[in-house]
Amino acid sequence: MLTICPTGQIPHQADYCIFTSKTGVELAVKQGWRSEGETVCAVGPQTATALREREYSVNVVPSTFTSAGLVEELSDHVEGQTIEIARSAHGSNVLIQGLEEAGAVVHETHLYRLERPSTAGQSVSLTVEGELDGILFTSPKTVRHFFDIATERNSTSALQRELKETTVGAIGAPTERALHTEDIGVDVKPDSVSFEQLAENVVRRIDDKQG
């Protein structure tokens, strides 16, 4: 459902630099970004691992691995500070708004866009045909593209009907909210933003249903 389109941009210098994904880290480093004494923040452990594997120090990882959790972690420390947010072009406004309310000067660099591949759609067909026991959504953008395809094929009603019989997994609250907007219930949401944990939990739920 997604293809990554790099923008070629590089994070700006600031007192704090925030990364929100492994992909963002990889692209920033590829473009030549180097840490120059700023406080480096990662929204979660996977992003932090991507930085550390490239020998960057990570100063802040929030206890709650979300944008809101990062705002809570930083809000008492950033008044009058400059903050660079290096991420995709599709991030929510939670980080920017929260940090600006805490008194920071915030700049955002879009490292990549997430677009729908021309070949996407097989999972929509399989769902409508009732061929899937489970389906995993990993971002709100994935949900959006999935239902856009269904709308283009005039199969939204059939899709929603079949999904009620399918085990639906979602990573994180934003993805869950995107599914609820489409009137789709979420059966599995892991405690972490780990795809491996999501997959294992979905398979376990399917086994229990069939069992």
Extract the tokens encoding 174.
């934003």
Span 159-185, pLDDT tens digits: 999 999 999 999 988 899 999 999 999
C-alpha distances out from residue 73 to 15, 21, 76, 178, Å: 15, 18, 8, 25
Tell which wins on pLDDT, 43 or 194: 43
Quote the pLDDT of residue 174. Answer: 85
Is the Cα dihedral 74, 77, 79, 82 positive or negative? negative
Write down the pTM of the prediction. Answer: 0.81
Q: Quick check: do 3-115 and 122-210 share a fold?
A: yes
Collapsing DSSP states into helix, strand and coil, what is residue 22?
A: helix
Domain 122-210 has what CATH class? alpha beta
Residue 145, pLDDT above cutoff 90: yes
By 3-state DSSP, what share of the chain in percent is helix, strand and coil, each rounded to 5? 40, 20, 40
Span 56-70, pLDDT tens digits: 999 999 988 888 999
User: What are the residue ranges spanned by the domains of the chain?
Assistant: 3-115, 122-210
Place of tokens 């925030």: 18
Q: Report the alpha-carbon distance of residue 58 to residue 2 in Å, rounded.
A: 28
In percent, the amount of the chain with pLDDT more than 70 equals 99
Assigned fold of 3-115: Rossmann fold (3.40.50)
Quote the pLDDT of residue 205. Answer: 93
In 102-195 the beta strands, taken as DSSP E runs, fall at 105-115, 134-137, 167-170
C-alpha distances out from residue 37 to 58, 104, 195, Å: 11, 18, 32
The one-character DSSP state at 6 is E
